[in-house]
């Protein structure tokens, strides 16, 4: 457990970095969403393939990997298009709560019986999301919010499938390779006029560093963390994103975002805290 805490912090920073990098590249029109998606997935696939090769394996996706690869592609593409029009902090908050909601919905659909405290916590989180998306001057664009919600749902499904995928690094490599191949038709919607070296560099960093290496770090530390601690760590990602975005991207911490964040964190924290005690 000696090195678990620093690794967990590193993974949290990587997850937050995905939102920050995407918003910096896409919000400034340094690269368009289709190209950002393709470059990110290809960079992640190459990085994970090299890691697996160094470990003695050469991962190749199979037909069984197709659903996970599709979910990863949907997540990455919706994530990219959403960040054309939504702030890093708001996007991370919507993404996070929709990941949790989708995982809970999948659990219920497959036979899990939620407890009253889970229902209460999720209702509180949904109230926070509703407050964030309610019409008003500071509400995020509904189209971008819907895309980020779709990204969260896809990532939740991908996460659930990944629980039974064997070695998570090898499985991630197969899924990234599959998603990278499936993403290539997006080139038809790409705009080469909206392409700068810095945008390409940010997309590569998102794929190779904050995605591929971030997942490797997270999966290496996850077995050494209690479930409640791991869930709490993920709960901190939108907060970290908001704080860094305020400093690095100049995003304002609006009262709507703060209130929604408190409600969402309280709701999901309620279920996490109850599980820790029981």
Half-sphere exposure of 274 (CA within 13 A, CB side): 14
pLDDT higher than threshold 60 for residue 89: yes
Give tens-digit pLDDT for 132-163. Answer: 766 665 678 999 999 999 999 998 888 888 76
> pLDDT-based confidence at 1, cuts 50/70/90?
very low
> pLDDT-based confidence at 107, cuts 50/70/90?
confident
> pLDDT-based confidence at 185, cuts 50/70/90?
very high
Pick the range with the lowest mean pLDDT from 3-12, 33-42, 162-171, 235-244. Answer: 162-171
Q: At what angle do helices 4-27 and 197-205 cross, to 10 degrees?
A: 150
- Greater confidence (231 vs 33) lies with 33
pLDDT higher than threshold 70 for residue 8: yes
Q: Enter the pTM of the model.
A: 0.85
Q: Is the dihedral of CA 120, 78, 106, 206 positive or negative?
A: negative
Closest CA to 240 of 47, 36, 96: 96
Q: Rounded to whole angstroms, how far apart are CA atoms 249 and 242?
A: 10
Outline where DSSP puts E strands in the chain: none
Structure confidence at residue 76 (pLDDT): 97
- Greater confidence (77 vs 115) lies with 77
């Amino acid at each position: 457990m000696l090195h678990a805490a620093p690794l967990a912090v590193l993974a949290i920073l990587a997850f937050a970095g995905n939102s920050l990098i995407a918003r910096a590249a896409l919000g400034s029109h340094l690269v368009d969403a289709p190209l950002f998606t393709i470059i990110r997935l290809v960079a992640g696939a190459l990085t994970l393939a090299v890691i697996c090769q160094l470990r003695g394996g050469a991962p190749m996706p199979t037909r069984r990997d197709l659903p996970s690869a599709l979910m990863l592609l949907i997540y990455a593409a919706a994530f990219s298009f959403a960040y054309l029009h939504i702030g890093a902090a708001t996007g991370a908050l919507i993404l996070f709560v929709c990941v949790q909601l989708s995982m809970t919905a999948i659990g219920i659909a497959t036979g899990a019986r939620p407890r009253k405290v889970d229902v209460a916590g999720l209702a509180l989180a949904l109230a926070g999301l509703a407050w964030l998306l309610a019409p008003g001057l500071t509400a995020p664009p509904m189209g971008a919010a819907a895309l980020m919600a779709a990204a969260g749902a896809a990532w939740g499904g991908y996460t659930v499938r990944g629980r039974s995928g064997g070695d998570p690094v090898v499985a991630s490599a197969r899924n990234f390779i599959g998603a990278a191949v499936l993403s290539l038709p997006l080139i038809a919607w790409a705009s080469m006029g909206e392409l700068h070296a810095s945008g390409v560099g940010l997309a590569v960093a998102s794929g190779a560093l904050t995605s591929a290496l971030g997942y490797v770090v997270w999966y290496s530390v996850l077995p050494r963390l209690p479930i409640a601690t791991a869930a709490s760590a993920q709960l901190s990602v939108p907060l970290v994103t908001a704080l860094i975005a305020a400093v690095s991207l100049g995003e304002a911490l609006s009262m709507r975002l703060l209130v929604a964040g408190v409600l969402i964190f309280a709701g999901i924290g309620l279920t996490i805290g109850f599980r820790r005690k029981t």
